[in-house]
């Protein structure tokens, strides 16, 4: 007869504490939640978020190139997090994952207005800041 021993917890020395984080993707239904070590770097968290997102079959399809994405803190500041900083140094657990804005060629005013209105109707393109600015600009210019 075998005797079951209780599972022993792994030593956390050198690995830091584990955190349950929540990452919201603009245009997707509900946040992604997973556990990370507080010593994990932001770029590694972005990789894990993209893999989890794809594994769950979420829409819109994002791709897997981490260089196309920025991670923002949901509560404080408007600057993207530095990809080389540790996720635990921020002190929060809620984040937003956004695609980097694409650089546009200079166009005439009519072409730019058309691009702004069409890009604001697509979900998942650009950062949440750009989306908010475009939305506010459309409301102001429609008087």
Q: Provide the pairing of β-strand 18-25 with 94-99.
A: parallel
Give all domains of the chain, ordered by start, each with its CATH number. 18-141 (3.10.20.90)
Using CA atoms, how far apart are residues 54 and 74, in angstroms rounded to an integer?
Answer: 22
Query: Looking at residues 21-47, what average pLDDT do you find?
Result: 94
Name the pTM for this structure: 0.62
**Rounded CA gap, 71 and 100, in Å?**
10
Average pLDDT over residues 51-61: 92
Q: Whole-angstrom Cα distance, residue 42 to residue 57?
A: 23
Rounded CA gap, 119 and 51, in Å? 26
Q: How far is CA 36 from CA 16, 33, 40, 57, 106, in A?
A: 10, 10, 7, 21, 42
Per DSSP, 41 falls in state B
Calculate what percentage of the chain has a pLDDT beyond 90.
44
Range name among 28-32, 86-90, 134-138 with the lowest pLDDT average: 134-138
Identify the pLDDT of residue 131.
63
């Amino acid at each position: 007869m075998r005797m079951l021993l209780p599972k022993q917890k792994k030593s956390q020395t050198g690995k830091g504490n584990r955190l349950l984080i929540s990452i919201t993707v603009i245009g997707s239904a509900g946040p992604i939640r997973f556990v990370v070590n507080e010593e994990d770097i932001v770029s590694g968290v972005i990789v894990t978020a993209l893999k989890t997102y794809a594994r769950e079959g979420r829409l819109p399809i994002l791709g897997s190139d981490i260089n196309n994405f920025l991670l923002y803190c949901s509560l404080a500041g408007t600057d993207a997090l530095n990809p080389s900083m540790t996720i635990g140094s921020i002190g929060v657990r809620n984040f937003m994952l956004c695609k980097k804005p694409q650089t546009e060629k200079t166009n005439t005013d009519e072409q730019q207005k058309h691009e702004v209105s069409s890009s604001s109707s697509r979900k998942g393109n650009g950062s949440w800041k750009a989306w908010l600015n475009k939305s506010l600009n459309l409301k102001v210019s429609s008087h």
